[in-house]
Each structure stands twice: as C-alpha cells, then as structure tokens.
C-alpha cells in the first residue's frame, strides 16, 4: 500500500476522485480516500507501474506524488495543455457547441474503457469528440 497526493483540476474536483478511482480499477488496484483538501490524498493498493500507465490518460489529474513519512517523490506529471481550449461553434455555425475535450476524456475514463479493447457506446455521436478521445 502506498500513499499518493494527487493535484487535480479545481473546477471539476468533484469528478476527479471518480476518475482516479476508475483508473486505479483499470490498473488492477484499489484506493481509499484519506483526505480531500486542495489535493486528494489516497492510499493505493496495487501495481504502481500499471497505475502510472493508466494515469497518463487522465483528464482531471495534473500531478501525483508518492508520500512517505520523510517527504514526497514525484510519481507522475501530466501535460494537459491540449485540454485548455473549449471549442465552441465550429463549421456547423449557429448555436452548436462541441464538448470540452477534458469532459470527453473524463467520460471515457469513467466508463472504465480499456485502451485498445472493449466496447464503448456513444449513442449521440454528434461531433465525434468522445470517440476521438477513445482512440
């Protein structure tokens, strides 16, 4: 068991723990929430390398540190620059709104979809952003 401190996006922090929980399940592990302050502090049981591979696809996680009594060691740092742009409008004009890329990635993660396998149904495909995030 290892303790992790996870920095998450503050605007959607209510969903960040759910995403972290989904990614930990996909890695074959489990976690318990210890503290929910500015960052999430969790205890993770499972293979850390498997979690690191899964966490790289997170939408709401910015950084994670392994915490021990002596200090902290950076576990993962994610580049979320592509998620900063909320695309509105588009080629269809009018009141069309294309979903925020962070939300699309979050939906894929919360569905606990394995990379390269499984079935993901998007009944209202629309712009195809969610399907694109799935790839």
Residues 9 and 71 in one domain: yes
Q: Which pLDDT belongs to residue 117?
A: 67
Claim to verify: residue 13 and residue 57 sit in the same structural domain: yes
For residue 3, the model assigns a pLDDT of: 94
DSSP-H helix ranges across 1-135: 13-26, 48-55, 101-110, 129-134
| ∠ Cα 107 38 30 (to 5°) | 50
Residue 121 CB partners (closer than 8 Å, separation 6+): none
Query: By mean pLDDT, which of 18-32, 46-60, 66-80, 111-125 is the weakest?
Result: 111-125
Same domain, 86 and 128: yes
Mean per-residue pLDDT of the chain? 83
Range of the domain at 68: 2-77
Does 24 share its domain with 10?
Answer: yes
Classify residue 114 as exposed, middle or buried by CB count within 10 Å of its CB (0-12, 13-18, 19+): exposed
Residue 64 has pLDDT above 60, yes or no: yes
CA neighbor of 102 nearest in space, from 31, 38, 13, 32: 13
86 and 105, same domain (yes or no): yes
Under the banding of pLDDT at 50, 70 and 90, the label for residue 108 is confident
Q: Is the pLDDT of residue 124 over 60?
A: yes
Domains identified in the chain, total number: 2
Tell whether 49 and 99 lie within a shared domain.
no
First CA to last CA distance, the chain: 32
Specify the CATH number for the domain of residue 17: 3.30.70
Of 8-22, 82-96, 102-116, the range with the lowest mean pLDDT is 82-96
Residues 68 and 115 in one domain: no
Pair 89, 47 in one domain: no
């Amino acid at each position: 068991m290892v303790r992790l401190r996870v920095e998450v996006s503050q605007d959607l922090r209510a969903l960040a723990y759910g995403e972290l929980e989904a990614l930990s399940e996909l890695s074959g592990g489990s976690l318990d929430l210890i503290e929910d302050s500015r960052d999430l502090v969790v205890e993770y049981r499972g293979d850390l390398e498997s979690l690191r591979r899964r966490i790289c696809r997170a939408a709401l996680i910015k950084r994670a540190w392994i915490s021990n009594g002596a200090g902290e060691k950076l576990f993962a740092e994610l580049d979320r620059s592509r998620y900063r742009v909320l695309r509105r409008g588009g080629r269809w004009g009018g009141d069309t709104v294309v979903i925020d890329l962070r939300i699309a990635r979050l939906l894929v993660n919360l569905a606990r979809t394995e990379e390269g396998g499984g079935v993901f149904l998007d009944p209202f495909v629309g712009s195809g952003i969610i399907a694109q995030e799935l790839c």
